[in-house]
Every structure is written in structure tokens, then in C-alpha cells.
């Protein structure tokens, strides 16, 4: 659907499409939570103001839900799981609903991209691509809905007699999702889609910074025919609503994406009923460039890998190691790209560096970068907040030669900040690449296939990219190693956590 004219203004057709959204005024308005298929305020009546990080202005509000609202959402999800039509919906009908849901998301692509871009500061073009990701997750897992099955077994245990024995794969129950602000819509759907394919019901709490796209996704799910109570979205702060989801005895499984620190809190809270957990956490991903690489391609790939989405990407390649002979050339090349990047509004078509999500996160990036020089780093380019415009912006930054144990090397900055160091010893580079508590992603740049495969084996990370950056596919899981997570999302591995296995032994005589 074409919704914008050549000046970028949104047309009448679009304005009519979304009730409370004013595209040209950049407001989304007051929204309610969606529990049991109905829009509801928080029981305590409180609301939270939501901002546009590109301007810092308030764009709307949502309820500040707390534990009592989590109770209501879990009740609704529980009823839908046990008594409602969802409990009797066949796998083929689940797939049909998911297919209609994907169609509707596609039809609302411009609206969803606008919401995501305005609320999260994501560049508008990227937000449109993320709508495509959401659709691809629904279509991929819609296919799985009809392919969930157990096995039969000719049992050979000492029990006498004849048996028919098999396993049943069944939906695990009510699932709680707690999500971050960097890719709100796609991270929500990476959980919702396999849960629906499995037949589970869901309570989703998006980040307090970025609730709007999740609420709109839940409205579209109802329109697609998902029964009431199957997908409930509640809004609120992590410490209030998120913690109540993690601890709730009525929730069978929690899927969390966010920081490693909060991930550990989720683990503790989930211990009460030993609920199943998957965790997608932080990263400090290494990028290793060898002398034999296509250096021009590597320079472009490394710059994309750290500066896209202003570095607010869990798999960002934030630690660069370049074989010494090529170090200056690679760092100069990336610095030239960084220095030429257009910083600006997320809706402007020439913007390359959009805003940081909030003033709090901006100050965190700034204060971490400021520790760099004291820890041996030279600021090659950037290093400052952008103060001549409203909103929250940070320059693309390169810190060269920090001490190996500097905070900027060890801690996730979650901003457009690259730490670059030379290396000499090829045999030792995998150890250096592995020298953080994280193990989310990694990249290798080389023309030597043997070197690539050896490094791929040695690097302790859930993803290895060779001569590319940021390639993902619905068919392959992303599964953090070490303190980057538990379990994987996407692919068949992304479906399994939503299923329980039951062995059935039937004596035939």
C-alpha cells in the first residue's frame, strides 16, 4: 500500500486506516492493554507517557499495569487454553488463522512501520523490513503447526504383554513474554508465532519504552480470527509487570529477551514454579579481520555490523580485531564511513544514524565512552552526544587500542561504539575473541576457507558470520552461548520450548 507522497507526508487513506494515530503530527494517542480480547486500563488506573526518541516528545500513553493486571491476563490466557475455542482448534485451523494474521500484518505494513519507527527511533526503512520479518516468522511457524507429532515405539522393556507406546507433543500452556525496545515487533513475533503454532496462549509485556507496536499486533491477531484471550498484551514497567510475569505460578514458560542482568532476575523469579525459560540476552560480539580478507568488503561489513540501528543491536560486532598489517587501513576505512554518516530523524530518507532510545540510555553510552581514554583507548572518530538538535543522538564512534580489560571492551555499550585492536598471533585470536562473558554472535573476514572453518569451531558464540554481517533466517536458530542466553529462537529449535512431551503406554491384552 502506498501511503506517503514524494515529500514523505502521509495521505488520507493512511490517516483513516489508524484511528488514534496522527501521522503528520507524529502522535499515537492513548492506548489500552488488550486482555481477554478487550481493551482495558490498568486496575490501579495509572498510565505511562511514551516518547519519540527522535524528538524527545510525548507521543501517547499506555496503562501502567502491575501484578493484579498480570493476574487478569494470565486468567484470560488460562481460560483460552483450557476452555475456549482455541483448546479445540485443530492444527490446520491454527495454521489458517496464522496465515490470515500474516496477510493482515502485510496489509498494515506502513502503519506498523510508522508506529515502530516513531516509538523506537528505528529508521523507517528498517521498520518496514522488520514488518517483513514479522510476516516471515508467522509464515514459517504456520507451516510447523501441522507438522508437530510424536513417535511410536516398539518397546523392549521387561513388561510382559503387548503394548502400543507413543509420545504426544502437546502445547506447554500459558506463556509469558517479556521483550526489549530495540526490535519490539519482531522480537515479540519470534515468540508469538511458535507459541501459536504449538497451541499455547500468551501474555506479552513489551518494553515500557516501546509498547505500541505490540498492542497493534494483538489487535490484528483478533481481526485475523485468533480467539479472545489467546494473545494478551499488557503494558507496564519491568520491575512491576515484568517481574510479576516471571514469578506467576499460572505461567508455564517464560521467553525473555533483554539484558543479561535482568535475565538473571528472571531465572530467580521463575524458580517458584520451576517454569521453563528461554533467554536471549546481551552480547559483545567479536569481529576478526585477517590480512587475507577482501578488506574493502570487510570495512563496509564491520561498519554496518556496529553502526546499523545506532549500535542498539544485541548481535552488533562491537569488538574488532584486525591482523596488524591491515589494522590502520581497516580502522581508517571504517572511520571514513563513520565520519560521513548522516545523523538525523528516523523518518528522513537520507538518515543513517537514528536516535538512541532514551536520554537514560544516551547518558549510559556517553559515560561508558568517557571511560575509554582512561583505559588506554584513542578516540579515532566520534565520541560525543549530538547536542544541536532535540532527541537522543550519539556520534558513530571508534575507540582504538583500549586495554584488553577496559570496561568498553568487556561491557555491552548498546550504542554506535566500536573498540578496535590489532592482533599478531593467529593461533591466539580465538581465545581473545572468546574473552568476554558473552557468546552471542561473531564474524570472520578472510579468503581462506580453512581458516574460516577452524575459527568457526573455536569461537564460542551462537552465530558465526564469515565475510558477511547480520544474516539470519527463519530456518536457523539464534542461541546465545555463555551469558548471552539459554535456548534458541527460530527454526525447529524455536518451536520445541512451547511443547511438552508425554510418553503413553497402552497394554493391549
- Active-site residues, by number, are 280, 314
**What is the closest distance, in whole angstroms, from the C-beta atom of residue 314 to ligand NAD in the complex?**
3
CB of 55 or CB of 186, closer to ligand NAD: 186
CB of 108 or CB of 481, closer to ligand NAD: 481
**What is the closest distance, in whole angstroms, from the C-beta atom of residue 288 to ligand NAD in the complex?**
20
Q: 303-337 burial, b for 16+ CB within 10 Å, e for fewer?
A: bebbbbbbbbbbbbbbbbbbbeebbeebbebbbeb
The sign of the dihedral angle between the CA atoms of 276, 282, 287, 288 is negative
Q: In what order do the strands lie in the sheet with 29-30?
A: 29-30, 58-63, 47-51
Between strands 463-466 and 441-445, the pairing is: parallel
Alpha carbon distance 261, 263 (integer Å) = 5
CB of 165 or CB of 464, closer to ligand NAD: 464
Name the residue among 492, 484, 485, 445 with its Cα closest to residue 464: 445
The Cβ of residue 178 has, within 10 Å, a number of other Cβ atoms equal to: 24
CB of 53 or CB of 242, closer to ligand NAD: 242
| Residue 359 near residue 393, CB atoms below 8 Å | no
Alpha carbon distance 429, 262 (integer Å) = 30
**What is the closest distance, in whole angstroms, from the C-beta atom of residue 84 to ligand NAD in the complex?**
27
**What is the closest distance, in whole angstroms, from the C-beta atom of residue 13 to ligand NAD in the complex?**
33
Query: Which residue number places its CB atom closest to ligand NAD?
Result: 238
CB of 238 or CB of 333, closer to ligand NAD: 238
What grid cell was written down for 478?
Answer: 539464534
Q: In what order do the strands lie in the sheet with 441-445?
A: 378-381, 397-400, 417-423, 317-323, 285-289, 441-445, 463-466
Question: Burial of 232 by CB count in 10 Å (0-12 exposed, 13-18 middle, 19+ buried)?
Answer: buried
The residue assigned the cell 561498519 is: 303
**What is the closest distance, in whole angstroms, from the C-beta atom of residue 322 to ligand NAD in the complex?**
24
**What is the closest distance, in whole angstroms, from the C-beta atom of residue 478 to ligand NAD in the complex?**
6
Q: Which residues bind ligand NAD (CB under 6 A)?
A: 178-182, 187, 205, 207-208, 237-239, 242-243, 246, 257-259, 262, 265-266, 280-283, 314, 412, 414, 440, 480, 485
CB of 47 or CB of 259, closer to ligand NAD: 259
CB of 53 or CB of 180, closer to ligand NAD: 180
What is residue 238's DSSP assignment?
Answer: I
**What is the closest distance, in whole angstroms, from the C-beta atom of residue 128 to ligand NAD in the complex?**
19
SS3 (DSSP) at 321: strand
Amino acid at each position: 500500500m502506498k501511503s506517503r507522497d514524494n515529500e514523505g507526508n502521509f495521505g488520507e487513506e493512511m490517516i483513516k486506516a489508524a484511528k488514534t494515530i496522527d501521522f503528520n503530527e507524529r502522535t499515537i494517542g492513548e492506548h489500552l492493554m488488550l486482555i481477554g480480547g478487550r481493551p482495558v486500563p490498568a486496575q490501579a488506573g495509572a498510565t505511562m507517557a511514551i516518547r519519540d526518541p527522535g524528538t524527545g516528545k510525548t507521543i501517547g500513553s499506555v496503562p501502567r499495569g502491575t501484578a493484579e493486571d498480570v493476574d487478569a491476563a494470565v486468567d484470560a490466557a488460562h481460560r483460552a487454553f483450557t476452555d475456549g475455542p482455541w483448546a479445540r482448534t485443530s492444527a490446520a485451523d491454527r495454521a489458517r488463522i496464522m496465515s490470515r494474521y500474516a496477510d493482515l500484518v502485510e496489509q498494515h505494513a506502513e502503519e506498523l512501520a510508522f508506529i515502530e519507527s516513531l516509538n523506537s527511533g528505528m529508521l523507517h526503512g528498517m521498520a518496514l523490513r522488520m514488518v517483513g520479518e514479522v510476516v516471515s516468522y508467522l509464515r514459517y511457524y504456520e507451516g510447523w503447526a501441522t507438522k508437530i507429532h510424536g513417535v511410536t515405539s516398539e518397546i523392549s522393556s521387561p513388561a510382559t504383554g503387548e503394548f502400543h507406546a507413543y509420545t504426544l507433543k502437546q502445547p506447554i500452556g500459558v506463556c509469558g513474554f517479556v521483550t526489549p525496545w530495540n526490535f519490539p515487533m519482531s522480537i515479540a513475533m519470534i515468540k508469538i508465532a511458535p507459541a501459536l503454532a504449538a497451541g499455547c496462549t500468551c501474555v506479552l509485556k513489551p518494553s515500557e519504552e516501546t509498547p505500541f507496536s505490540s498492542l497493534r499486533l494483538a489487535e490484528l491477531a483478533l481481526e485475523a480470527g485468533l480467539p479472545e484471550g489467546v494473545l494478551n498484551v499488557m503494558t507496564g514497567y519491568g520491575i512491576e509487570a515484568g517481574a510479576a510475569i516471571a514469578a506467576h505460578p499460572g505461567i508455564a514458560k517464560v521467553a525473555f529477551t533483554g539484558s543479561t542482568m535482568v535475565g538473571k532476575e528472571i531465572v530467580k523469579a521463575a524458580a517458584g514454579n520451576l517454569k521453563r525459560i528461554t533467554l536471549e540476552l546481551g552480547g559483545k560480539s567479536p569481529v576478526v579481520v585477517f590480512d587475507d580478507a577482501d578488506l574493502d568488503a570487510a570495512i563496509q561489513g564491520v561498519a554496518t555490523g556496529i553502526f546499523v540501528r545506532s549500535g542498539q543491536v544485541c548481535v552488533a560486532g562491537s569488538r574488532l580485531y584486525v591482523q596488524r598489517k591491515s589494522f590502520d587501513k581497516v580502522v581508517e576505512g571504517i572511520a571514513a564511513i563513520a565520519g560521513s554518516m548522516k545523523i538525523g530523524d528516523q523518518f528522513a530518507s537520507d538518515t543513517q544514524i537514528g536516535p538512541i532510545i532514551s536520554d537514560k540510555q544516551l547518558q549510559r553510552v556517553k559515560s561508558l565512552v568517557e571511560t575509554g581514554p582512561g583505559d588506554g583507548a584513542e578516540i579515532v572518530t566520534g565520541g560525543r552526544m549530538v547536542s544541536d538538535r532535540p532527541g537522543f543522538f550519539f556520534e558513530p564512534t571508534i575507540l582504538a587500542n583500549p586495554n584488553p580489560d577496559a570496561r568498553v571492551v568487556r561491557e555491552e555499550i548498546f550504542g554506535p561504539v566500536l573498540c578496535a585492536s590489532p592482533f599478531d598471533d593467529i593461533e591466539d585470536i580465538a581465545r581473545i575473541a572468546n574473552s568476554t562473558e558473552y557468546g552471542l554472535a561473531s564474524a570472520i573476514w578472510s579468503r581462506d576457507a580453512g581458516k574460516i572453518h577452524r575459527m568457526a569451531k573455536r569461537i564460542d558464540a551462537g552465530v558465526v558470520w564469515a565475510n558477511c554481517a547480520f544474516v539470519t533466517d527463519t530456518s536457523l536458530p539464534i542461541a546465545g552461548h555463555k551469558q548471552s542466553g539459554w535456548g534458541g529462537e527460530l527454526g525447529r529449535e524455536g518451536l520445541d520450548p512451547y511443547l511438552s512431551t508425554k510418553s503413553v503406554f497402552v497394554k493391549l491384552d
